Chains A and B, each alone.
Chain A
Amino acid sequence: MGHVSRIASFLPALGAVAPAFAQDAPARYNLQTPVTSIAQQINDMHTWLMVICLVIFIGVFGVMFWAVFNHRKSKGAVAAHFHENTVVEIAWTIIPILILLGMAWPATRTVIDMKDTSNPDITVKATGYQWKWGYDYLQGEGEGVRFFSSMSTPRDQIEGGAPKGEAYLLEVDKPLVVPVGKKVRMLLTANDVIHSWWVPAFGVKQDAIPGFIRDAWFLAEKEGVFRGNCAELCGRDHGFMPIEVHVVSAERYAQWVAEQQAGMSAGTAAAVSVTPEDGAPAGVGARGLDVGLNVAAVADGKT
């Protein structure tokens, strides 16, 4: 990653290719500001590839448009008769292969990094439901905490009855909370159809597949609120099951865990508090979670 960003920083043209937008405003033209090393590697790689593509693009179409403007019949151009040239043809086969090798090298290292989910500080299982997420803290600080997380944007805002809020469609009733600087391993599964858990700032997108468990990891280097969406078509409300992650300090996290555990020990209070807005009875939500766990347990045995 080091050499990529070094080379990239030498290119003043980069500013025009990938403008660095204000850190706090939501991204509009480019990938979201990364807060993990993986997302940073992806950003650098993307910038680097854009530069290579742009150079090739200008080269190839420079030649083509030169011909378009200068080799016109109306300007008296007479057609040459050449129709092959072995040396040129071999050259433009070999050179692209070399360029591709240059691209594959950093990508390979990132792929291997992304797959290294070993030694997490905290493990959280996320379960996709139509249409909300369930989170279970399985290991590490906060073990045993479990809750649902549904979109909290009111129906009124969607249907135009009320002005839309700042985090329109990207806000949830109970966000996922994780401590800053800790490696979090996410286990992904689903209860009904395939969903996909995606937080762009973390560089994590992992499908949640019913009956199977897949994993991904992130280590957020910055506190803040990071938002994402379900990224796999999952039916009617696919567009309305956002992901909101709060990255907080270690102390704040400990405090949050204590609050959750106090709430959990007060019986089914937690399940009641995450009743979906559409008025489904609390019991349905709680049962849904249990079913999800059973399915996941079966799958765990298989894999």
Chain B
Amino acid sequence: MAAVTHDQLQGHQHGQSGLMRWITTTNHKDIGTLYMFFSFFMFLSGGVMALTIRAELFQPGLQVVQPEFFNQLTTMHGLVMVFGAIMPAFVGFANWMIPLMIGASDMAFARMNNWSFWLLPPAAILLLGSFFVPGGAAAAGWTMYAPLSVQMGMGMDLAIFAIHIMGISSIMGAINIVVTVLNMRAPGMTMMKMPMFCWTWLITAYLLIAVMPVLAGAVTMILTDRHFGTSFFNAAGGGDPVMYQHIFWFFGHPEVYIMILPAFGIVSQIIPAFARKPLFGYASMVYAVAAIAILSFAVWAHHMFATGMPAAGQLFFMYATMLIAVPTGVKVFNWVATMWRGSLSFETPMLWAVGFIFVFTIGGFTGLICAIAPIDIQVQDTYYVVAHFHYVLVAGSLFALFAGAYYWLPKWTGHMPSEFLGKLHFWCSLVFFNITFFPMHFLGLAGMPRRIPDYALQFADFNALISIGAFGFGLSQLIFLVAVIKCIRGGERAAARSWEGAEGLEWTVPSPAPHHTFEEAPVLR
């Protein structure tokens, strides 16, 4: 299996050096690294917006920002975190790890890979730059509901173009992943022997290809309604504002699984490694991911119970949504069963993975509560929903990304990450996360709407607590930055198999992984 030549051991890479190396690179590891640095930068940008929101909400009244700017912040926080931070981070993981996991020498379309990354910075410039145009950034919420989005200034146009560009990037990345996984697996690696991370990304990639064009269509219709006199979403011209929501959520619901399925994959790699025991129910895990992906196309209108659809419609979408709890439950049960009677140790990646299961499941339960249409009527567009989706997106996707980062950092850098910093980062994040987001359930139930810059007095205590938690959570993320920089610069040398129980082809190549790996495909028994 030693597919490493002398040249590679020296870590040689050919071609340009300096900035041009990164601009022209077609190497999956370089591109993966670019994706991850980009997404971390966007994560910090979105975080600054979130903290400005929390500063305003620290006490009742308007102190820090005006309502117009507040709406821009909530909108851009959502867009930046979803399209700039979480999605590119997972694509970065896919770029780095999928070829290593399936024994491929690179991604299938190396040049397209370069292009799909380098589309992102211009999109980010459009998005972040829109704060500085007349009228400011888009302020219609990340969902950009018409007709409010038709009213916006040119910031909305910039956001629409940014979404177009990021969508193209995502589609190209997804095509690359599908082709790589289907065609470039090492001999002997059948589909049902593939690591879970590859499975979850394969299915995610299909979701991306299916729904990103739908989003592009929805925002293009807004664009033409804004500038070219169409009336897709204008009742006076025969259109329907609610149609926008149907189209948006037909993208939007699969989108939330796009952001969580690769997280399931990462956790499914880490739990067995630190339980020193194979993943329980591999086949049922694959089927569960596929079931979640298929169901995700039939539940979109549960975001729209308050728009007033017929009882039959509400019931259909309620039942379909509740059904998703079944495969999701199977996954949680499987992880717990993997840990059961294992030989557990709790290095940093495992802490994050176990933390993920624990906190993500709370988000899963509130998701079930929201699925019940009559209850959703009460909690829709309140802080309860804000709590719910931050439990699944922060404690879900983000925690899994951190778990994966600490797990594979030795492979990326050749050094073990600091256990002290990693654990500090974990415990600070877990505690502050819950201080921030748990009280939001109470606020939502008691009747605090979301997306408001000021609130009634009975909500003041919890909001002050939440703001304190949010600043704690935000600052905790700087620990990660320090841990990563320290790990890049030095530290304990990492062995090829950096963790005792780690399994998979990626652990058969040296750490750090040489610039070129698996030029000759490894053979699996």
Binding between chains A and B: yes
User: Which A residues contact B (CB, under 8 angstroms)?
Assistant: 25-32, 38-39, 41-42, 45-46, 49-50, 53, 56-57, 60-61, 63-64, 67-68, 71-74, 77-85, 88-89, 92-93, 96-97, 100, 103-104, 107-108, 110-112, 114-115, 157-160, 164, 166-170, 188, 192-194, 196, 198, 200, 203-207, 209-212, 214-216, 228-240, 295, 298-299
Bound-complex Cα distance A15 to B381 (A) = 27
CB distance from B150 to the nearest CB of A (A): 8
**Are the CB atoms of A104 and B322 closer together than 8 Å?**
yes
Q: Specify which chain A residues have a CB less than 8 angstroms from the CB of B445 in the assembled complex.
A: 27, 29-31, 46
| Cβ contact of B67, chosen from A209, A210, A237, cutoff 8 A | A237
Q: How many A-B residue pairs have CB under 8 A?
A: 284
**Are the CB atoms of A77 and B344 closer together than 8 Å?**
yes
30 contacts between A and B (CB under 8 A): A27-B445, A27-B458, A31-B446, A32-B446, A49-B368, A50-B369, A53-B369, A60-B336, A60-B361, A71-B340, A79-B277, A88-B337, A89-B284, A89-B330, A93-B330, A108-B318, A111-B318, A158-B454, A159-B62, A170-B456, A188-B308, A193-B145, A194-B148, A203-B374, A209-B242, A212-B242, A228-B447, A231-B382, A235-B139, A239-B67
Q: Mark B303-318, 1 if CB is under 8 A from A, else 0.
A: 0001110110011001
Q: Specify which chain A residues have a CB less than 8 angstroms from the CB of B62 in the assembled complex.
A: 158-160
Bound-complex Cα distance A248 to B280 (A) = 61
**Are the CB atoms of A234 and B67 closer together than 8 Å?**
no
**Are the CB atoms of A168 and B381 closer together than 8 Å?**
no
Q: Mark B322-337, 1 if CB is under 8 A from A, else 0.
A: 1101100110110011
Check A96/B326 contact, CB under 8 A, given A74-B345, A79-B342, A238-B452: yes
B51 at the interface (CB under 8 A from A): no
B372 at the interface (CB under 8 A from A): yes
Bound-complex Cα distance A232 to B241 (A) = 13
**Are the CB atoms of B61 and A157 closer together than 8 Å?**
yes
Nearest residue in A to B140 (C-beta to C-beta)?
A: A233
CB distance from B143 to the nearest CB of A (A): 8
CB distance from A242 to the nearest CB of B (A): 9
**Are the CB atoms of A111 and B315 closer together than 8 Å?**
yes
**Are the CB atoms of B68 and A169 closer together than 8 Å?**
no
Bound-complex Cα distance A31 to B382 (A) = 12
**Are the CB atoms of A79 and B276 closer together than 8 Å?**
yes
**Are the CB atoms of B365 and A57 closer together than 8 Å?**
yes
| Cβ contact of B342, chosen from A41, A77, A238, cutoff 8 A | A77
CB distance from A212 to the nearest CB of B (A): 6
Q: Specify which chain A residues have a CB less than 8 angstroms from the CB of B241 in the assembled complex.
A: 194, 209-212
**Are the CB atoms of A239 and B322 closer together than 8 Å?**
no
**Are the CB atoms of B148 and A193 closer together than 8 Å?**
yes
B227-241 contacts to A, CB under 8 A, are 234-236, 240-241
Bound-complex Cα distance A184 to B337 (A) = 53
B343 at the interface (CB under 8 A from A): yes
Bound-complex Cα distance A196 to B62 (A) = 23
Q: Specify which chain A residues have a CB less than 8 angstroms from the CB of B283 in the assembled complex.
A: 84
| Cβ contact of B282, chosen from A28, A84, A239, cutoff 8 A | A84
**Are the CB atoms of B452 and A166 closer together than 8 Å?**
no
**Are the CB atoms of B306 and A93 closer together than 8 Å?**
no
Nearest residue in A to B68 (C-beta to C-beta)?
A: A236
**Are the CB atoms of A84 and B280 closer together than 8 Å?**
yes
| Cβ contact of B332, chosen from A60, A97, A160, A237, cutoff 8 A | A60
| Cβ contact of A236, chosen from B71, B310, B446, cutoff 8 A | B71
Q: Mark B272-300, 1 if CB is under 8 A from A, else 0.
A: 00011111111110000000000000000
**Are the CB atoms of B374 and A235 closer together than 8 Å?**
no
CB distance from A73 to the nearest CB of B (A): 4
B357 at the interface (CB under 8 A from A): yes
Nearest residue in A to B149 (C-beta to C-beta)?
A: A193
Which 10 A-B pairs rank lowest in CB-CB distance, beginning with the nearest? A211-B235, A239-B452, A214-B308, A26-B458, A27-B446, A79-B343, A80-B341, A110-B374, A83-B278, A115-B311
Nearest residue in A to B327 (C-beta to C-beta)?
A: A93
B13 at the interface (CB under 8 A from A): no
Check A67/B344 contact, CB under 8 A, given A42-B374, A211-B235: yes
B206 at the interface (CB under 8 A from A): no
